[in-house]
Amino acid sequence: MSFFQSQESLTTMEWILRAVVAYFFLIIVAKAMGQRSIAQLRLIDFAITLVIGNIIAHPLSDERLGLKGSITTTSVLVILYIGSIYSILKWPRIRKLINPEPVTLVKDGEIIFNGLKKARISIDILLEELRKKKAADVKKVALALWETDGKVSVFLDPKYEAITPSTYNLVTEPFDLPKTIIKEGTINSDLLKQMNKDEVWVVDKLENLYHTNIKHVLLATIDQKDNLRVFLYK
């Protein structure tokens, strides 16, 4: 375990061991921090990610710095981070301090200039975010908020919202997520068994409907009504 300590020089194998230990340690850290910190970089998430990255990076490039100190420091920071998350959930005042309220950028079709200044974004960025939400006309926007994770939530005026089956009380079929039975020329045998089907059934379907075989299939999915959708290599 000498590669943990600071040294004048490290062998190639010791460098490799440092990298391997740091890699798996960071995976454990990411697991402990949860998906929230990965999917949404809020203020506290950004700060902790930036600090941990710097702490771990230095021992991987400087043999005079020990790995033990970096792992200890990172572990303490993760404990503090998890404690902060629980504090945010329990005490509203701390929540407001770390995760401030959303900033109003557009209201009833009018751009709120003070909101732009508070969020520190320009008109161009606002228009870009609105276009991403398919809201090209600001006048059609009932409300646009700058969220704490840096994203813009856009709500159109109801009269500009798209018509859906619920508008006319139409009956629709329940959602059905197709299941993948072939991927890159390989059949998912376990899934077929769960559906009371076998490879012979799949082969017959491919030959009769698509005049092809399994090896030529990039992806094949099936829904609850046994509708087979096949995507071939192109």
Domain of 37 in residue numbering reads as 2-95
Shared domain check, 116 and 88: no
Q: Are strands 179-183 and 152-156 parallel, antiparallel or unpaired?
A: unpaired
pTM of the model: 0.57
* Six-digit token string for 221: 């999915």
In this structure, are 33 and 66 located in the same domain?
yes
Query: Is 174 a member of any domain?
Result: no
My answer on whether 148 and 185 are in the same domain is: no
Shared-domain flag, residues 88 and 118:
no
Q: Is 167 inside any structural domain?
A: no
Output the six-digit token pair for 73: 């420091």
**Domain boundary, last residue among 95, 112, 127:** 95
Q: Is residue 170 part of a domain?
A: no
Domain count, the chain: 3
- Please indicate, yes or no, if residue 24 is contained in any of the structural domains: yes
**Kind plus residue range of the DSSP H or E element containing 127:** helix 123-132
d(CA 3, CA 17): 7
Domain final position from 73, 95, 117: 95
Q: Which residues pair with 190 in a beta bridge?
A: none
The CATH number of whichever domain residue 203 belongs to comes to: 3.30.240.20
The angle that helices 43-57 and 67-90 make with each other, rounded to 10 degrees, is 170
Same domain, 71 and 111: no
Q: Each residue's pLDDT tens digit in the chain (234 positions)?
A: 565 555 656 667 766 776 777 767 766 766 666 544 444 445 566 667 777 777 777 776 666 766 777 778 778 877 877 787 777 777 777 666 666 788 999 999 999 999 999 888 899 999 999 999 989 899 999 999 998 777 899 999 998 888 888 888 888 888 889 999 999 999 999 999 999 999 999 999 999 988 999 999 999 999 988 889 999 998
Instruction: Give the E-state strand segments of 30-114 in sequence order.
Output: 103-107, 110-111
From CA 229, how far away is CA 74, in angstroms rounded?
48
Q: Is residue 73, in this structure, part of any structural domain at all?
A: yes
Residue 85 Cα to chain centre, angstroms: 19
| Residues 14 and 56 occupy one common structural domain | yes
Same domain, 73 and 36: yes
Burial level of 227, CB count in 10 A (0-12/13-18/19+)? exposed
In this structure, the answer to whether residues 218 and 139 fall within a common structural domain is no
Residues 119 and 56 placed together within one structural domain of the fold: no
Residue 168 lies in a domain: no
